[in-house]
Amino acid sequence: MIETEQLTKYFDDFRAVDRVTLHVEPGEVLAMLGPNGAGKTTTVRMMTSILAPTSGSAQIAGFDVVKQPERVREHVGVLTEQHGLYERMKGLDYLDFFGQVYHMPRDLRQRRALDLMARFGLEDALDRRIGEYSKGMKQKLALVRAMIHDPRVLLLDEPTSAMDPQSAKQVRDAIIDLQKGERTFLITTHNLTEAQLLADRIAIIRRGRIIANGTIDELAQHFIGQPRMELRINGSLNGLASDLTDLVDVASSGPNWLQYHTPDPYTANPQVLARCAALGVAVVTLSPLTQTLEDIYLQVVAEDEAQLHQPDPSATE
């Protein structure tokens, strides 16, 4: 549904996007994360035919962004940082105008506009001029516009950045519902909790390059290491850590708890519990220590930064 190959954009001799290759399947949500200036918006703008790539290619909903920009626009809903709203128009008239642009019959465009405005809590703003809307309301209206023609692919650049927590949740719920209907999303965000809640896969971009791409579990495994478990018992450890060393790699311990790494929790955890039972140790909890997306993100960026400062092996004295 979203396919880019070696997508690259130069502004004069500055390389803003550097050979970005991404594949997002139907019904998948990809969250693109990265520091300010990393190239997220530029990538989204190329995917929506707003900006011509310098090299590489992109196909969105099966259409080439350079050769078939009209078809791309028909099948894609876009939310960009600059919403381009017509401030003097009233909310409902504005949506009706876009419905006409997409050749939607009058009944359908009215119904979609009213449903979506109600869904995002804008039902009282239908007849107000957009210039009177708050920042968050404008962002919601821009999202409604992106969704009005029920596109198969949605490219949303920081969709909840101006929103209060309840509004942000309305947007997340809408995304989850649409995903169930096989809609495909690429979302850029600085909100890692939101990315963790919504995304099937995460791509991290830095200085125009994709430096990590995978599910949260894959990235955690690759960049943080083996899953870490915490065992809590009723009583003191009394040397339990050394009783488990043939089964798992104990990383740290306290008076009544220990943490261990294992590459295969499905095998190791039952063995640990069986050993505890055999030793008469009363287990209170055995649980995984979750790695947050923030841990992963910071580690990915730190590794990329370290690589940047490594001496160039091809350099000669």
Ligand X SMILES: Nc1ncnc2c1ncn2[C@@H]1O[C@H](COP(=O)(O)OP(=O)(O)OP(=O)(O)O)[C@@H](O)[C@H]1O
Interacting residue ranges for ligand X, rule: CB under 6 A: 11, 16, 34, 36-42
DSSP string, 144-192: HHHHTT--SEEEEESTTTT--HHHHHHHHHHHHHHHHTT-EEEEE-S-H
Residue 58 burial (10 A CB sphere; 0-12, 13-18, 19+): buried
**Dist CA 204 CA 279 (whole Å):** 46
Nearer to ligand X, 81 or 230 (CB): 81
Nearer to ligand X, 9 or 228 (CB): 9
State the nearest-atom distance from the C-beta of 248 to ligand X, in Å. Answer: 41
Nearer to ligand X, 51 or 113 (CB): 51
State the nearest-atom distance from the C-beta of 38 to ligand X, in Å. Answer: 4
Q: DSSP character for 85?
A: -
State the nearest-atom distance from the C-beta of 188 to ligand X, in Å. Answer: 7
| Type and span of the H or E element at 264 | none
State the nearest-atom distance from the C-beta of 217 to ligand X, in Å. Answer: 25
Nearer to ligand X, 7 or 95 (CB): 7
Tokens read off for 248: 């798992």
Nearer to ligand X, 42 or 184 (CB): 42
If one counts every other C-beta atom within 10 angstroms of the C-beta of residue 59, the result is 18
**Maximum CA extent, the chain:** 76
